[in-house]
Amino acid sequence: MRKPVIAIDGYSSTGKSSISKVIAKKLGLIHMDTGALYRGVTYFAILKCLNENGEINLQQLFSTLDEIKLEFKEVDDELILFLNGNDISKEIRGNQVSAHVSLIACQKEVRDYLMETQRSIAEKGGVILDGRDIGTVVLPNADYKFFLTASIDERTKRRFLELKSLGIETTEEEVKHNLITRDKIDSEREVAPLKKADDAILIDNSSLTKKETIDYMISLISDI
């Protein structure tokens, strides 16, 4: 029996990725953190495609996309993102990547490049993908669609604590500014903007714990 395909979209720091990982483990699904893929491309661009002003040269990035090999490998029961054979799971969470990922993610060339990777994994079912346009663009026929949101203050607190746990120095003010900026770019971009699919279930988890959010979502999935 084919297992379902689940799409989880939503704003930054609503717990999309960590929630997806837990649901995948509980239901025996494969989890793909699509946001990590865009962060991986962004990290590559910062390493290889900066101009003399420290800005990303988009045309140079587009011409070198075929040099990027992104893959998830299981390490200690967790899927870790590797770029050309190197573990970049910590690097892609830094402020520099966070400040540039929306620019990279709104580029049609990048989205097209990653689209087929995501769809090919989902073809056989039994997968859960999280991102910003999974239910609207990448997998419009997903069996279940969720859209997560939370207040900006709650998301700022979560993101700040996450970065602190990774040993990345920042301030809550800087984190909040990055989130607000990214919300605006993601929602207003011309290519695959962040928005709730018409048939997605909206969940505001501002006052919900991660466990409460997960339990509620699993209660709505009936196939497994």
C-alpha to C-alpha distance for 60 and 128, rounded to whole angstroms: 32
**C-beta atoms surrounding 163 within 10 Å:** 20
CATH class of 5-219: alpha beta
Report the pLDDT value the prediction gives residue 223, as an integer from 0 to 100.
59
Q: What is the mean pLDDT of the chain?
A: 92
- Is-contact 8 129, C-beta < 8 A? yes
User: What is the b/e burial string over 84-114, where b = at least 16 CB atoms within 10 angstroms of the residue's CB?
Assistant: eeeebbebbbbeebbbbbbbbbbbeebbebb
Task: Give the residues across from 8 on adjacent strands.
Answer: 130, 146
> In whole angstroms, how far apart are CA 66 and each of 25, 60, 110, 151, 222?
32, 12, 11, 38, 40
pLDDT digits (tens, 9 = 90+) for 83-97: 999 999 999 999 899
Task: Give Rg (Cα) of the chain.
Answer: 17
Output helix, strand, coil percentages for the chain, rounded to the nearest 5: 50, 20, 30
Tokens 């997998």 found at: 139
Structure-block tokens of residue 69: 């090999």
- Is-contact 144 1, C-beta < 8 A? no
- Extents of the domains making up the chain: 5-219
Tokens 């793909």 found at: 32
Tokens 């919300």 found at: 183
pTM: 0.76
pLDDT digits (tens, 9 = 90+) for 117-166: 788 778 889 999 998 899 999 999 999 999 999 999 999 999 999 999 98
Report the pLDDT value the prediction gives residue 224, as an integer from 0 to 100.
56
Percent of the chain's residues with pLDDT above 90: 72
- Is-contact 110 119, C-beta < 8 A? no
- Is-contact 200 135, C-beta < 8 A? yes
